[in-house]
Amino acid sequence: MASSPAETHERRKKALDAFVEARLDEGYLVETRTDTQAVITQVGRPFGWVRRKRTLIRQVIAVDADGVVTITAAEPLRS
């Protein structure tokens, strides 16, 4: 039996809530968020031995109709 659109949406929202909550515990911050997609960031470790610049890790988190979470690299912030 197929799920109603409201049930599908709620399943996606709950999956994203759980995923983002776990990442917040790991030190990530939420940059933007909807019910089914979020952009999260975390300041990474310094790289390079001359310039101790910290990297900014940005990820797009999306949840499909089945509640499966996917993670893709987000575009770097432009300055």
pLDDT at 56: 78
pTM of the predicted model, to two decimals? Answer: 0.78
Concatenate the DSSP letters of all residues of 56-79 into one string: EEEEEEEE-TT--EEEEEPPPPP-
Confidence class for position 3, pLDDT limits 50, 70, 90: confident
Do the bridges between strand 69-73 and strand 37-47 make them parallel or antiparallel, or are there none, so unpaired?
unpaired
d(CA 18, CA 25): 11
- pLDDT tens for residues 29-52? 999 999 999 999 987 655 555 555
**Neighbour tally for 12: CB within 10 Å:** 21
Query: What's the pLDDT tens digit per position in 57-69?
Result: 899 999 998 889 9
